[in-house]
Amino acid sequence: MARYRKSNINPKRFDRSQIKIILIILPLALFMLLPIVFIFSHAFKPMDELFAYPPRFFVARPALDNFYKLFKTTSTSAVPIGRYVFNTLMVTLVVVIGSVLISTFAAFALSKLRFRGKFTLMEINNAALMFVPVSVMIPRYLIINALGLIDTYLALILPVLAMPVCLFLIKQFTDQVPDSLIEAAYIEGASDFKVYQKIVLPLIKPAVATGAILSFQQVWGDIMSSAYYISNETLRTLPFFMNTLTSISNTIAGQGMAAAAGLIMFVPNLLLFIILQSNVMNTMAHSGLK
């Protein structure tokens, strides 16, 4: 049955009935590809093309100048670049895993367990969702300062762990998990945690993946928290370093390096997404969610 269904959804052979769909999808897909093409072509543009007027979208004579310049500048910095890479990787890993765990826990409880105040909690989360993140910057700093977390990794990790968007998305998906499945598990003697681990988590995989991507994005490109909570250069993250590189050196030379840095910062995003999407989207058709 499962195999039949899979072949039904993803046909191996090309069929004439697919032509009209592809005719609509393909041009739009080209537009969707524009920003990525732009990042790549921008990074390989030599100096004169970067400032050409009118600005050109595609690179005419690709060159590696920008990357050479970038690596030359990084090698002169006081802290080796490996340190920044390590910091970023560690912080990102902890935040993505932590925030997904926290959000799925909370979503499971808020959606499927009964206790007092759960609707209030959800309302609070929704209210926090609407709020502009910029405005809590200063109170957040004061709290981190009061807790003595300035100049630690925790200052980079803790503030972003509870992501309202993540919880909101995952909770809405958890609501769709049928209660009968969970009840069946309880009757078989499963504990709450077992139900969470064996039933809810596999069923909400797409939401988990989306949440993971969103939280990854938030941490990966985060310049603010490195700038405000950390004054020790060895604890700062890669995006902050890239940002300083391109703004310290004069702006004209910085442009090329910024383009190259942008590409370097973008590639992990791309890889993560491709890995996650192939894992997640294909399992969805077979889940028991109806």
Partner 1 sequence: MKSITRKKKTTGLKKRESLTGYLFVSPWIIGALMFLIIPLGQSFYYSLCNVKVSPKGRRYDFVDFKNYTDLFRLDVGFIENMLRYLLNTLISVPVIVVFALIIAMLLNNRMKGKGFFRTIYFLPVIVVSGPVMIQLADQGATSIPAMNVSGITRVLSTYLPRFMVEPIANLFNNMILILWYSGVQILIFLAVLQKIDNSLYEAAKIDGGSAWECFWKITLPIIKPMILLTTIYTVIYVSGNEQNVIINSIYNDMFAVNRGYGFASAKAWLYSVVVVAIVAFFTVVLRNRDTYQAEIKRFEKMEAKKEKERRKLLKRQTRRSGKWVVGVFRK
Q: Does 249 bind partner 1 (CB under 8 A)?
A: no
Q: Does 254 bind partner 1 (CB under 8 A)?
A: no
CA distances from 219 to 64, 130, 158 (A): 28, 20, 11
Which of 47, 81, 94, 121 is the binder for partner 1 (CB under 8 A)? Answer: 121
Under a CB-based contact definition with an 8 Å cutoff, are residues 284 and 217 in contact? no
CA distance 181 to 203: 11
Q: How far is the CB of 105 from partner 1 (least distance, A)?
A: 5
Q: Which is nearer to partner 1, 36 or 85 (CB)?
A: 36
Which of 82, 114, 188, 250 is the binder for partner 1 (CB under 8 A)? Answer: 114
Phi, then psi, of 112 in degrees rounded to 5? -115, -15
Q: Which is nearer to partner 1, 76 or 135 (CB)?
A: 135
237: its two tokens: 């993250």
Neighbour-count burial of 183, counting CB atoms closer than 10 A to its CB (0-12 exposed, 13-18 middle, 19+ buried)? exposed
Residues 2-21, interacting with partner 1 (CB under 8 A): 8-15, 17-18, 21
Binding flags for partner 1, 58-97, as an x/- string (CB under 8 A): ----------------------------------------
Tokens 């007027």 locate to: 53
Residues 142-171, interacting with partner 1 (CB under 8 A): 142-143, 158-159, 161-162, 164-165, 167-169
Q: Report CA torsion sign: 171, 173, 175, 181.
A: negative
Under a CB-based contact definition with an 8 Å cutoff, are residues 206 and 133 in contact? no
Question: Would you give the DSSP letter of residue 151?
Answer: T
Q: How far is the CB of 204 from partner 1 (least distance, A)?
A: 10
Please choose, out of 60-68, 70-78, 136-144, 228-236, the segment that lies near partner 1 by the rule CB under 8 A. 136-144
Q: How far is the CB of 263 from partner 1 (least distance, A)?
A: 9
110: its two tokens: 């808020």
